[in-house]
Amino acid sequence: MFINWLVEPLQYEFMQRGMIAAVLVGIVCAVVGTYVVLRGMAFFGDALAHTILPGIAVGYLITGGARDTLFWWALGTAIIAAWGIGAISKQAEVKEDTAIGIIFAGMFALGIALISTVRSYAVDLSHFLFGDVLGVSAHSLWLIVIFGTLVILTIAAFYKEFLTLSFDPILAATLRLPVNLLNNLLLGLIAVTVAVSLQTVGVALMVAMLVTPAATAYLLTNRLPIMMALAAFFAALAGVIGLYLSYYLSIASGAAIVLTATAFFLLAFLWKRSKRN
């Protein structure tokens, strides 16, 4: 029966935790991702996610692979990397996307190099790259809840400032809003989101959680609050459906979530296309 089919995986505690983690991470990524999409920062998000790998690697080497402390290594590296990349974007010698490309590939390679010094590294490395949402501990889940809530509350508190800054930075400047502070705050929020999402989708698939649900919602509405709500809904739903697919088809959980989100995008895209013609 369908109910049994739905309930069966949830008898396992790791599935329950994984489900909650995927939904929460989906919501946080989608809301932050709305700004990533509107401001054209997809490449920045992708680069940022990859750039934290060496930080995770150092934490991994120092602690001998203790998962619960890795969050803090990821968070610290992500914040430094976000502001570092933000500063690099302002220099004039090398074009912005070229500079980001060089840094992100270099840092990613450094991360892989560090992790590969451990003999049985392959499994752990693949968890960092593609996520391991079914391995989320109760402790990690609390960190996700706390930091995810923090991100959402900050976005809500500075809603009108972020909106004004994203639509018309010159208006924000002439209104004397603290433009640099707000820009860095937004980069910081993306960094926290990356750290929060690490265990769910991993660094290599992170950009999908940031842009795909938000881009799906953008096809369906032209109001920002509705776009945020729809994006959160699609991301949460992708988390749930993805985990069922992962359970019943035995495919990697991070990939299953991202593929579900991608399917939503394709459906919305085709629906929009058919409506236009």
Partner 1 sequence: MYPHISHQKDKPILDVRDVSVRYDGRVALNNVSFHLHVGERIAVVGPNGAGKSTLFKVVSGVLQPNSGDVTISGSKPTVHSCIAYIPQRSQVDWKFPVSVADVVMMGRSAKLGPFNWPKKRDWDFVNQALETVEIGDLSKRQISQLSGGQQQRMFIARALAQEAELMLMDEPLTGLDTPAQEGLLDLLDMLRTQKVTVMVATHDLEQAAKHFDRIMLLNKKIVAFGDPENVLQTDNLLSAYGGRFRTVEGREGLLAVDDSCCDEGAHDHVH
Question: Can you say how many angstroms the Cα of residue 36 is from the centroid of all Cα atoms in its chain?
Answer: 10
Residues of this chain that interact with partner 1 (CB under 8 A) are: 38, 157-161, 163-164, 166-168, 170-177, 218, 221-224, 226-227
Nearest alpha-carbon partner for 70 in 190, 198, 253: 198
Nearer to partner 1 among residue 31 and residue 53 (C-beta)? 31
Nearer to partner 1 among residue 163 and residue 240 (C-beta)? 163
Structural contact between residues 153 and 31, judged by C-beta atoms closer than 8 angstroms: no
Residue 154 beta carbon to partner 1: minimum distance, rounded to whole angstroms: 11
Provide the 3-class DSSP secondary structure of residue 222.
coil
Residue 37 beta carbon to partner 1: minimum distance, rounded to whole angstroms: 10
Nearer to partner 1 among residue 44 and residue 247 (C-beta)? 44
Residue 213 beta carbon to partner 1: minimum distance, rounded to whole angstroms: 14
Nearer to partner 1 among residue 15 and residue 165 (C-beta)? 165
Angle between helices 138-157 and 67-90 (to 10 degrees): 30
Question: Can you say how many angstroms the Cα of residue 137 is from the centroid of all Cα atoms in its chain?
Answer: 19
Residue 271 beta carbon to partner 1: minimum distance, rounded to whole angstroms: 17
Q: How many CB atoms lie within 10 A of CB 188?
A: 17
